[in-house]
A and B are shown apart, each in its own frame.
Chain A
Amino acid sequence: MVTYILKRLVYMIVTVFIIATLTFFLMNLIPGSPFNEERTTNAAVQQNLEEHYHLNEPLAVQYILYLKSIITLDFGPSIKQPTETVNSLLGRGFPISAELGIWTVLIALVSGVALGVFAALKHNHLIDYMAMTIAVLGISIPNFVLATMLIQQLAVQLEWLPAATWSSPAHMVLPVLALATGPMAIIARLTRSSMLETLTQDYIKTARAKGLSPYKVVVKHALKNALMPVVTIMGTLLAGILTGTFVIEKIFAIPGMGKYFVEGINQRDYPVIMGTTVFYSAFLVFMLFLVDIAYGFLDPRIKLHKEGGSS
């Protein structure tokens, strides 16, 4: 288990390093400097600015400085908003994005698993068909389309819920709903097919034959095993939710990290783009790492296999 964790840890660091390097060199490929705009600055000011942001150094030195800044978790100042640093933007945006993300994951997991289990228990009945139609629809409707439609129907037409910003629980309903529907649908489909397979296993028959209540058979014996594929896919789903926050925060004007990222892109604010990209990637890769570890703990077969030495 320890070697397994160490191996994943090395992968994690390598991936973050590659992303950081890729980001740096890609950003340097873009022609022009952020200060070459229509607004003319005199040569001395220009030089001072470049010195301040280390833009006059050779590329290799800039790269080393950049790696150092990542290791010390100091992503430098924002170019377009001189009063802000990337860290201050992240510090303000992250808690809000995290709140949005956690609610989304919770709701997607609970409702997706519940939908999948009900569909599997009522296999080929009306409930099954309804649940699966909802699931395919949920996968097919892009989150930004769902978000705009929800605003148009529930916020503008019916005026039930506020359409934008992030200040009360009522404000959170629409963004979370728009973001959670896709992952929920994927989880529901996966839970259903995995549940159907598990329910035919011999140990389920044994559990039934022992006279356990249907609830115990389903929850304790079947669901516990059927959830393993869901754990596997959590990494991909988290990546989807994370990128989903970009558009959702833009649509609902939520002052989270995604909003600053999109603004950074539109204003070509390179330190902000670089900082948020590296932060996002590191966060995501760390989440994937946690999912892998959790998988190792939940499935005893994997732990034994990994300790056996052969990959």
Chain B
Amino acid sequence: MSALKEKQRDDSHSSIPDEWFRPKEKNIDEAESVVRPSLSYWEDAWRRLRQNKLAMAGFVFLILLAVMAVIGPWISPYTVSEASLADQNQPPSLNHWFGTDELGRDVFTRTWYGARISLFVGLMAALIDFFIGVVYGGISGYKGGRTDNVLMRIIEILYGLPYLLVVILLLVVMGPSLLTIIIALTVTGWVGMARIVRGQVLQLKHNEFVMASQSFGAKTKRIIRKNLLPNTMGPIIVQMTLTVPTAIFAEAFLSFLGLGIQSPYASWGVMANDALGVILSGDWWRLFFPAFFISATMFAFNVLGDGLQDALDPRLRR
């Protein structure tokens, strides 16, 4: 066995020129060079997100929807509450692309107006949840000890409250409007965000870079903002992406119950509720457009959130 190996080595040695075995000259510049292009966390996440076709389709849909929400009511010759007796219950046609309702209002215009409401409610809810949740969760996780204990007990009780029931109660008291919907949705909505931020901060706060900051005399506010938050942005963004469809659903749900946006203004929930009354007449476009856009928007946010979750998870980094 060893004899065979010896022979092989001799053979190979004879076939390879001797200069190959000399030590390579050291090139200091080359030694420092990196073979693969270095990608920052966000570049890598974006690269991985782009590979997820479903998430990108959702992303593109949402961009188109946002564009139409801005220009849709503006390019249409009709206004959102303009009633016309001559154009009642028209099916989709060249004049009214999505048809009209029983008051002759243009469903196309109303759909994009509803998109404005839905996107606005969703984004505002996510933003407000973000600010409250980050401050609350950041302080709770970073301070720890008794502060954390008290803050977490409050969260535990808030978490036990049935979300939509509280929202309904608040809306009954405050009266239905766009502002009160956003307030009602965020009064208890930030709890999930606060829990996520707290968990992340708890994991991160004993790292060396935080200690370095502390030893330079950085204040709590600065440490949370500059050291801890940037490192928790991944889960925070995912949570925000998933808050938006929840808020959109809640707005549509409340409008459907008559507690949300009021006629003559349009929201997808209001339009679906109006369509329920004419369901026997076979005017399919009345239900189809709001139903399609609520579902498609929620679908887009959900797949985008799933995609972001995978893309922003450092453990899945290749």
Chain A residues proximal to chain B, CB less than 8 Å: 11-12, 14-15, 18-19, 22-23, 26-27, 29-30, 136-137, 139-142, 144-145, 148-149, 151-152, 156, 239, 242-243, 246-247, 250-251, 262, 265-266, 268, 273, 277, 280-281, 284-285, 288
**A142 to B160, Cβ gap below 8 A?**
no
Contact A280–B256 (Cβ < 8 Å): no
Contact of A280 with B294 in the complex, beta carbons under 8 Å: no
A145 near B169: Cβ-Cβ < 8 Å = no
User: Which residues of B have CB within 8 Å of A288?
Assistant: 160
Neighbouring B residues of A151 by C-beta, 8 Å: 279
Q: CB of B39 within 8 A of chain A? A: no
| Contact (A148, B272) CB under 8 Å given A142-B252, A239-B163, A285-B160 | yes
B249 to chain A, nearest CB (A): 5
- A266 and B156 CA atoms in complex are apart in Å by 31
Is residue B157 contacting chain A, with contact meaning CB distance below 8 A? yes
Any A CB within 8 A of the CB of B162? yes
* Segment touching A, from B17-25, B212-220, B232-240, B295-303: B295-303
Tell which of A15, A27, A250, A281 touches B173, judged by Cβ atoms closer than 8 Å.
A27
SS class, residues of chain B in contact with chain A: helix
Given the complex, which residues of B lie within 8 Å of A142, measured CB to CB? 249, 252-253, 294-295, 298
Question: Looking at the complex, which one of B164, B169, B299 makes contact with A23 (CB distance below 8 Å)?
Answer: B169
A265 and B162 contacting across the interface, CB-CB below 8 Å: no
Residues in A whose Cβ lies below 8 Å from that of B258: 265-266
**Told that A148-B279, A284-B165 touch, could you supply 18 new A-B pairs with CB distance under 8 A?**
A11-B156, A11-B157, A26-B172, A30-B173, A137-B295, A140-B299, A141-B298, A142-B249, A144-B253, A144-B272, A156-B282, A239-B164, A247-B253, A247-B257, A250-B257, A280-B162, A281-B161, A285-B160
Which A residues lie within 8 Å of B291 (CB)?
141, 145, 148-149
Count how many pairs of residues, one from A and one from B, have CB atoms less than 8 Å apart in the complex. 108
Chain B interface size, as a band, is: 35 or more
| Most chain B CB inside 10 Å of its own CB: which residue of A18, A27, A148, A239 | A148
Neighbouring B residues of A136 by C-beta, 8 Å: 299, 302-303, 306
B169 touches A137 (CB 8 A): no
On chain B, the residues within 8 Å of A266 by CB distance are 258
* CB-based contact A152/B284 at 8 Å: yes
Docked-complex contact A239 and B156, CB < 8 angstroms = no
| Option from A148, A152, A277 in Cβ contact (under 8 Å) with B165 | A277
Q: How far is the CA of A265 from the CA of B157 in the complex (A)?
A: 25
User: A265 to chain B: which residues have CB within 8 Å?
Assistant: 168, 172, 257-259
Interface check B276, CB cutoff 8 A? yes
Chain A, Cβ-Cβ closest to B258: A266
**What are the 9 A-B residue pairs with the smallest beta carbon separation, nearest first?**
A140-B299, A243-B164, A140-B298, A15-B160, A141-B295, A145-B291, A26-B173, A239-B162, A284-B162
